[in-house]
Structure 1
Amino acid sequence: MQLQEKTNVLRLLAGGLLACLIAVGVSACEKPAEKKAQPRASQEEEAIPTGQLGRNVAPVHYDLDLTIDPRKARFSGHVTIAVNIASPTRRIWLHGRHLTVHEAAVVQNGRRIPASYDEVHPTGVARLDLAAEAAAGSARIEITYDAPFNEALEGLYKVVDGAEPYAFTQFEATSARLAFPGFDEPAFKVPFTITVTAPEDMTVITNTPETRAQPAGPGLVRHHFQETKPLPTYLIAFAVGHLDVVEGKPLPPTAVRDHAVPLRAIATRGKGARLAYVLAHTRPLVETLERYFGVAYPYAKLDLIAVPDFAAGAMENAGAITFREQLLLIDDNSPYQLKRAFKSVAAHELAHQWFGDLVTPKWWDDIWLNESFATWMGNKAVARAFPQDGFENAILNGALRVMAADELASARQIRQPIRSNHDIATAFDGITYQKGAAVLAMFESYLGEEAFRRGIQEHMKRFAHGVADVHDFLDSLAAGSGHPEVKEAFASFLFQPGVPLVVAERLCKAGAAPEVALAQRRFRPIGSQAPAKGLWQIPVCVRAKG
């Protein structure tokens, strides 16, 4: 916050305070509601990890081998998960939802241990019970299964467009478990090797470039893809069907990247001609982000995928970003506001390639480390890349809107505890996106843009291709900026709700220098029952005249 002293007018939160993206389907990375089901039994429920899984068994690598034919009602797969087992066990907790498992086993030291698979909670918590104890050390979980294409635009789902079937995915936050069994939490961030068998006349897209294809029986082709960088399950993506794939000019090397990056835009059949605009306007955003972070775009390719039926506005899958097709299908007759919307949403999703993808939150209570940062950095990048389009006040405008929600008694804090899978969806709201972005802008203003940038770059370097939480970020910001005091001040805005109201009074006494007295309390609407207490450590600058 800045206090500008001409007439003692207090300017709260320079750069914008709080903001509101009360997303009704167009906010990035939002997940639709899950179907309800009944738990098994109350006695069994007590032991079911409905929040975070334990860490006794942890993945180190996935081999996903899927067969996806959008013309059919179901798909199938064989998953091999290399794991580390900390202590001997006959039970492994993992995730899977609506999967029909035909065979499951744990393979260790040349021994194959049969296992039974059981989905024990409606949120998709599953259990493997082993026929014999698995020892501590390395092992492989092998599961063969099939499942229905989802009908609610989550998981691996089917779309019919122009009478043709397609398969697309939306896995954030907990819907990868609808497509394959695994450890469906962000902390379990490991490489994936992906193989997809599909009809020979269909195209298959995933996170990495295709390395080879081979016949796989009558009318089928088996597509092999480059191993991914370490990724959480929610950032894996697939698109299968008669797709138009339009090759853009590769993103050329930059000062921080010594190689070109393939750039493509993808749509359902017959729509590829309308992808030229987005291909022409992606490079400035990527290069702006690379300059800010001082870190090269982290993935082997960049695909922009137009999805006809999509519950979110867009999704930041690493190297394979999905969008509502309305945001990508732009031509000369498209309205200016649509072109502007593409630039804004694309900036947000591209910022996620660093915030969220390169560095991932350990758990969903730190989803603000994804969404607040992508909102703040996306707005910053789009304003720099396209200065003529009027994005410079986006954070401030959103901040003013979200205050209406943040001043209520029901407002929640930015870093909200997530104790179960049911709580996750509540974290995707304006408090996370826009208030979080505005608080970042406030502390950037306090520290200075370059000092703040050094803190961000420190964080990217410390946790590249890894996971981090709020304490890791605050440590990075303090170390990189050289301002250790920022940790406690920042935390005061993360761990409590509300808008601070600061009152300034000038005190003038004869023969003495003028003083400014500051007092704070939580701002409340007239008649509000919200508690008035609250203490924020607010950066204050005073400028005196005369």
Structure 2
Amino acid sequence: MGVPTTAELENNSNQKKYTVNRTSKGDLVISKIVCGLLVLLAMILIALAALLTYFLLPYCPNEATPEALRKAVVKDGPARLPRSIQPLHYRLQIIPFLEEGNFTTNGAVQINVNVTESTNKIELNINDIEINQHSVAVKRVSDDKSVKVSDQKYDNESQKYIISLAESLKEGDQYQIAITYNGKLNDYMQGFYRSSYIDSNTKDVRWIASTQFSPTDARRAFPCFDEPSFKAKYTVSIARPSNMTSLSNMPKRESVVVVDRKDWIWDHFKETPQMSSYLVAFVVSDLQPFRFNSSEKLFTIWSRRDALEQTRLAMDIGPRILSYFERYFGIDYPLPKIDMVAVPDFGFNAMENWGLITFREAVLLFDEKISTVEDKRAVATVLAHELAHQWFGNLVTPKWWDDLWLKEGFASYLLYYGVNFVFPDWNILTEFIMTEVHKAFAIDSLKSTHPLTFTVHSTDEIRQMFDPISYSKGASIIRMINNFLGERTFKAGLIKYLHTFTYSNARRDDLWDVLTQQAHEDGNLHDDLSIKEIMDSWTVQSGFPVVTAVRNGKRVDVSQKRFTFDKSFAEDTLWWVPLSYTTDLRTNFDDTSPKQWLKKETGKNFEIEANRWWLVNPHQTGISHSSFFMTSSLWIASLL
């Protein structure tokens, strides 16, 4: 039953269809039973709201900031893998079954590893996978000598499979681990999962198998070293029915008939570059392709057959944004192809899998007849975000999830450049303050906020990192660095950073070191100052300052204090705050380079050349609320 309209409620005296009625005098009458039910419902809703607030909002009594966030206390949860074994190459074969009553997978993986420290245990990540224990074998690569397996066990709490050996693996040697297993095509859009759509012609259900491995779900598809620092190369083979297609990160090398299964095909894909496990992807479906060949790179969008026309916008702007980023970074996109797939069921807006980007249909498809301008903006921004990830996140990957902003912040910042290139008339760069900076302010002004970087261990803690702090605040501090270093120095530093850590991992200190070196070379940073010293105040502590500037004659008194809506919450947190300003005597609203700094100090004063007005923090390039008083604010207010 639908919700009744006002007219239906008011003209209901005879039918008695709803419980709200009018008397002959026009008065509303509600029965006692209904009143009681409404009161009971209200009480239940209040109780639920209280419970949700209690369990979902971090709160620690007698602490200025939640202890787990401010001091990064280690919680119970899945432990990190040992560093004694490093994967080099995966040979993965997987058969997904997309049949009613049988949504499972059969898989086999051979992992070549290098031993960096002698050990008699091999620990792999798995989740919801059944290992065929008789298949587990370990051998030394140099002479094919087998190493006896003495014990095997699941550790479900830490999502590990532990293989104990009768003798130690020797430091410096390479070994191969072989395992066969069975998995599930689940229906909750994590790991290797199933999706479906209704064929518009036949009305039949069409099944799809797709992946979402970020951040910690490659282990649902195959046993692996499922941490971003364990980069390796992958050679993937996928079996499929002959009436379907399969995709993976790399182009197909060959297809051969499955010998013991009628009308099935093995698709063998080329070897990937060095990459993290969360970026591995594959799709098995009957989706249809729309191809565009540009600069020797095959650009293909896949969707339901009756939605192909709706991929034209993405096909028009996607190759152009990719080319723009290639020129911006001075580094060619390193893979020979890009597939973009509109998945009917998808838990995020999109996922930047290298060479195989998956999207929610709503942010990849655009119908010229019914879609809105906001829909067009969503397609452009999400597409640019994912393409920026091909460099920041894929080519250079954060070493661990505590530096998630190193990829999400950069993608959220750079998307504005990509969209501005294809739609310059939108002036999208002017939206950054309202869309990103103020979104970060809204979260970071709360008592329950967290630093950009803090230690995470469990999968739950890792998932909680995917929030506006990592995305919008990350993007905002990157914009601030760009403005206080200058575009030329900033861009040169980014390019040097990408070249230095290509196909590898980095931490925020690696970025700070490269930017410091570039800034010193360009003379944009004092020799005894480092970017780390400045930016640690923005990344390892939460919140942001409100900067107050009061003019007294020729002098300005400037102070900072943490901004918060909770007046009972007080901390003496201090930041390195770049102070840029413009005045009526030296007017330049585009000069955002800092003329002064608050160097983690509560306040300072300096002289200013101004007569009638002055403006602090033009374009809000510094991440702070600014209040400025006396002549300027009164005079500017008189103009409004």
In which range does the TM-score fall when normalised by the shorter chain? 0.7 to 0.9
* Structure 2: distance between partners of 1:200 and 1:118: 37
Structure 1 spans left out of the alignment, 5+ residues = 1-45, 253-259, 509-513
Q: Please state if 1:211 is matched with 2:211.
A: no
* Cα distance, 1:542 vs structure 2: 4.4
The alignment's TM-score, normalised by the length of structure 1, stands at: 0.86
* Structure 1: distance between partners of 2:275 and 2:378: 28
Residues 245-275 of structure 1 show CA distances to partners (whole Å, capped at 9, x for unaligned) of: 2212x222xxxxxxx2110001134433332
* Structure 2: distance between partners of 1:175 and 1:232: 12
**Root mean square deviation, CA, Å:** 1.8
1:253-332 → structure 2 map (5 Å cutoff): 260-332=296-368
* Structure 2: distance between partners of 1:173 and 1:112: 34
Which amino acid in structure 2 is aligned with residue 107 of structure 1? K
Based on CA coordinates, which of the two structures has the bigger radius of gyration?
2
Matched residue, 1:454: 492
Matched residue, 1:87: 117
* Cα distance, 1:422 vs structure 2: 2.8
Matched residue, 2:541: 496
Q: Is the 8 A contact 1:216 1:222 kept in 2?
A: yes
1:111-510 → structure 2 map (5 Å cutoff): 111-115=145-149, 116-136=151-171, 137-162=173-198, 163-217=205-259, 218-248=262-292, 250-252=293-295, 260-333=296-369, 334-397=371-434, 398-482=436-520, 483=525, 485-508=530-553
Matched residue, 1:51: 79
Q: Out of 423-432 and 536-545, give the one that drifted further.
A: 536-545
Distance 1:341 1:49, change over 3 A: closer
* Cα distance, 1:501 vs structure 2: 1.1
3-state SS of paired residue (1:393): helix
* Cα distance, 1:388 vs structure 2: 1.8
Q: Please state if 1:101 is matched with 2:131.
A: yes
Q: Is the 8 A contact 1:503 1:518 kept in 2?
A: yes
Residues 177-214 of structure 1 show CA distances to partners (whole Å, capped at 9, x for unaligned) of: 00000100000111111111111221000001001111
Q: Is the 8 A contact 2:406 2:508 kept in 1?
A: yes
* Cα distance, 1:75 vs structure 2: 0.7
3-state SS of paired residue (2:578): coil
Q: Is the 8 A contact 2:126 2:161 kept in 1?
A: yes
Matched residue, 1:255: none
* Structure 1: distance between partners of 2:147 and 2:139: 6
* Structure 2: distance between partners of 1:311 and 1:223: 27
* Residue 561 of structure 2, aligned match among 512, 518, 521: 521
3-state SS of paired residue (1:247): strand
Structure 2 spans left out of the alignment, 5+ residues = 1-73, 199-204, 583-608, 612-640
Q: Is the 8 A contact 1:395 1:437 kept in 2?
A: no
3-state SS of paired residue (2:577): coil
Q: Is the 8 A contact 1:288 1:384 kept in 2?
A: yes
Q: Is the 8 A contact 1:364 1:418 kept in 2?
A: yes
Distance 1:198 1:282, change over 3 A: same
Distance 1:49 1:83, change over 3 A: farther
* Cα distance, 1:277 vs structure 2: 2.1
* Cα distance, 1:112 vs structure 2: 2.3
* Cα distance, 1:114 vs structure 2: 4.5
Which amino acid in structure 2 is aligned with residue 424 of structure 1? I
Residues 397-438 of structure 1 show CA distances to partners (whole Å, capped at 9, x for unaligned) of: 121132122112221111121133331011110111001111
Q: Is the 8 A contact 1:69 1:199 kept in 2?
A: no
Ranked by relative contact order (alpha carbons within 8 Å, sequence separation 6 or more), the top structure is 1
3-state SS of paired residue (1:493): helix
Matched residue, 1:26: none
Q: Is the 8 A contact 1:66 1:75 kept in 2?
A: yes
* Cα distance, 1:541 vs structure 2: 2.9
* Cα distance, 1:50 vs structure 2: 2.2
Q: Is the 8 A contact 1:105 1:130 kept in 2?
A: no
Q: Is the 8 A contact 2:192 2:221 kept in 1?
A: yes
* Structure 2: distance between partners of 1:480 and 1:283: 31
Q: Is the 8 A contact 2:77 2:459 kept in 1?
A: no
3-state SS of paired residue (1:271): helix
Matched residue, 1:9: none
Matched residue, 1:76: 106
* Structure 2: distance between partners of 1:405 and 1:373: 19
* Structure 2: distance between partners of 1:351 and 1:481: 24
Q: Is the 8 A contact 1:340 1:389 kept in 2?
A: no
Which amino acid in structure 1 is aligned with residue 429 of structure 2? E
* Cα distance, 1:49 vs structure 2: 8.3
* Structure 2: distance between partners of 1:234 and 1:117: 25
Matched residue, 1:28: none
* Structure 2: distance between partners of 1:183 and 1:59: 7
Which amino acid in structure 2 is aligned with residue 469 of structure 1? R
* Structure 1: distance between partners of 2:345 and 2:460: 24
The number of residue pairs the alignment matches comes to 486
Which amino acid in structure 1 is aligned with residue 145 of structure 2? R
Q: Is the 8 A contact 1:123 1:421 kept in 2?
A: no
3-state SS of paired residue (1:296): coil
Q: Is the 8 A contact 2:96 2:103 kept in 1?
A: no
* Structure 2: distance between partners of 1:300 and 1:207: 10
Distance 1:284 1:147, change over 3 A: same
Which amino acid in structure 1 is aligned with residue 403 of structure 2? D
* Structure 2: distance between partners of 1:135 and 1:105: 16
* Residue 93 of structure 2, aligned match among 65, 88, 104: 65
Q: Is the 8 A contact 1:101 1:117 kept in 2?
A: no
* Residue 580 of structure 2, aligned match among 538, 541, 546: 541
Distance 1:378 1:117, change over 3 A: farther
Distance 1:276 1:101, change over 3 A: same
3-state SS of paired residue (2:576): coil
Which amino acid in structure 1 is aligned with residue 281 of structure 2? A
* Structure 2: distance between partners of 1:481 and 1:264: 40
* Cα distance, 1:502 vs structure 2: 1.1
Which amino acid in structure 1 is aligned with residue 567 of structure 2? S
